[in-house]
Chain A
Amino acid sequence: MQFDPFVIPFNIGLYFILIYVITRSVIWFRDLSKPDKLRLQRGFFGIAFGMSLKEIFMESLIHRKILKTNLRLGYMHMSLAFGWFLLILFGTIEADIFGARHLNAPYKAIFFRFFNPEHGKTGFEAAYGFLMDLILAFILSGLLLAVLKRFYSKIVGMKKTTRLKLTDKIALTSLWLIFPSRLLAESFTSGAYGTGSFLTGTLGTWLATFLPARQMAYPFWWLYSLSLGTFFILLPITRYMHIPTELFLIFMRNSGIKTGDKAGTYSEVQTYSCSSCGICIDACQLNFSAGITNIQSAYLMKAIRNNDDVTDIAYNCLMCGRCDQKCPVGIELSPIRMIQRRGGEAENDIRNIYKGYFRSRQSVNPENEIIQANYNFLKEEEPGKTDIIYFAGCMTHLTPAIKKSMVKILDASGLKYNFIDEHGGVCCGRPLMLSGQDKEARELINFNSRMIWKSGAHTLVTSCPICYKVFKESYYLDVKVLHHTQFIKMLIDDGLVKMNFLHKKVVYHSPCDLGRGSGVYCEPKEVISHLARLEKSSFEDENSLCCGGSLANMKLSSSIKKKIALDAVNALTKNNPDILATACPLCKKTFSSVTEIKIADIAEIAAEALIAKPLKIYSSSHLTSIKELANI
């Protein structure tokens, strides 16, 4: 039996982390809702499992997404993750082939050179040793980048890197020590026995010329084992927990589990899967426009993990969703932030002594005081029967040019419609939802739903992406919900309206709730290119900016919001367009207040381009798209 006391720290750490991960998985699985448990079981025997393996390989080891956005940062992550994986894999094979026996204890593979110092003399052994050295060199190159990144983040092409807490620092140090100590331990051993390949061999031979290699090796083997052990034991309470957790995340996601609106296993798994890589920090406009660098999603995830008070972080966010798009792990950051908002100001009282290792479950929504949030005082008017409802929304009432344009277009279309909130209406409910007050919002939703249902309409057109999102996601309506850009597109396609071509340069700003929030990217641009010359900007589609006027952030001062707006306008209007077009009344208002450049909603441009024709009421049955809608 090959054994040496120095392997004890490693063994303790390894078995600790294995038992921990198993316990943790059991707890996580137990806490899943019944449907999610079923999904997971189905996923395990289905295609999800294979897909997950592939994704784990591509994302957790190769880090494809990071590589695509940032080559150097991706290389750093890849060399550490993939390199370490290869080292373990080939180390195990090495121990299995060349070791005294097959099926060795893990430590035999990790400390193979110590127990087999003479190994590497024959040709095949030397070739294998070369491979192992190559892998180690690969990891060390990544480690070098990581160390540099910590002190000088621009080296990997990042403007900001995450700040660390003490345990993170200790874990980081132990992680950093693992590979250099392995290198030195192996080199000294190789130096003493005249083995080792191009890296360990060369370094070992050179070190042996002026140091007592045999005696020097032993302490480094201890250091190697100790740093591994420390790293494993600290892993659950540091960001490195993301290493095992991400595997669960990928599998759960592929099985079809979603974040939902309550805290649960999936949101917790996602929270732990955040590696604090800091990509979200660079993506965040609060960082690069306003210099606020403590509220980004990486910090939110960390604060949740640490059971810190997250109220300030959770609310100081535009909810623009830029970080969701950029997150290489694919964490649903905005929904998790919303869960924190819904959690309100409630405290996590129940803290146990192992809170770092088994944190108390996140508090569920505290019951708000019973507020008589009903809207009985509002007159519920009987809406006339109609095909199409136009719901302008509060913000559109504050930008009457959009409202007027839509009325002009709707009149010209000849379709039977009802401008349901022409003389004032009830809020769609999203602002309340964004501040975490779902119950109160539900009252508004019910009120509006009744109105819409009574009208018998098959299509609801709204001018405001904020309304659009909530109508689509949180209303249970048997109507097709369209943003007015989609509706105008449809009118043009069906030949219901004719438009002139305006010889103007137009740049499109995609509103957060319409683009990233609801996935409507194409129709607005198609309408613009039908009407005018659509110019490209450097912030298209998923990468579009937030105007800064977001309803979701009530923490920012006006001047900061203006700064964000101004930066966004400047970035979008680099090529001096005639019009900066948007499809959201709030974006329009926000931009108009900071620039002299003409800001217009797509509806306004369309109304300007509209060729007037005599008013005629069509029956909706003649029209293709509209007819399709009626059949839903």
Chain B
Amino acid sequence: MADDSDELLVAQAKAGSKEAYGKLVDRHYEMVYGLSYGVLNHRESSLDVTQEVFLKVFADLEKYQGRSKFKTWLYRVAVNAAIDCRRRIRYTDSIDLTDVSDDEDRAPLVIPDPKQDPLESAAQSEMRDGIEKALNQLSPDQRAVLTLREWQGFSYEEIAEALHIEIGTVMSRLFYARRRLAEVLGVRYKEEVL
């Protein structure tokens, strides 16, 4: 419905409607959280970044000129906030994001399905651990590209626009991220990115 387009809601939010901005938050919250989680791999930090992003965007809404889609602009802010958070944490060592062993916030609680085959369940658990291990070996920038491409389905151009980088950089980061993921999970990766 045209009345619910992002651009119209942004215009209403600029005019002071918190309710309109609330609709935008409701619409994009999971995507921003997923993006943050893809970069940080930590639930609480990702939730903090998500809320911080929405508050920052609301405060800076006047700066949005409408040259790109609101979604692209929002994701750019989210990715940058998540990367900044990751670097900040790394420098201050306030949270050890690389320690998988005793951090309950790292992965969501998964209740095993009683109908599921135990072997299949074990394989999924092993796969999840492998993914976490692989993600920990990637830089925040590579994780951001991987998340935008594989989870959000962004094109190379959209990723380049969102992250303010060249398309060639997008391709190389994506190639390295995919290869690392595959290697850790025991799959030889020689596929060309293109």
Question: Do the two shown chains form a genuine complex with each other?
Answer: no
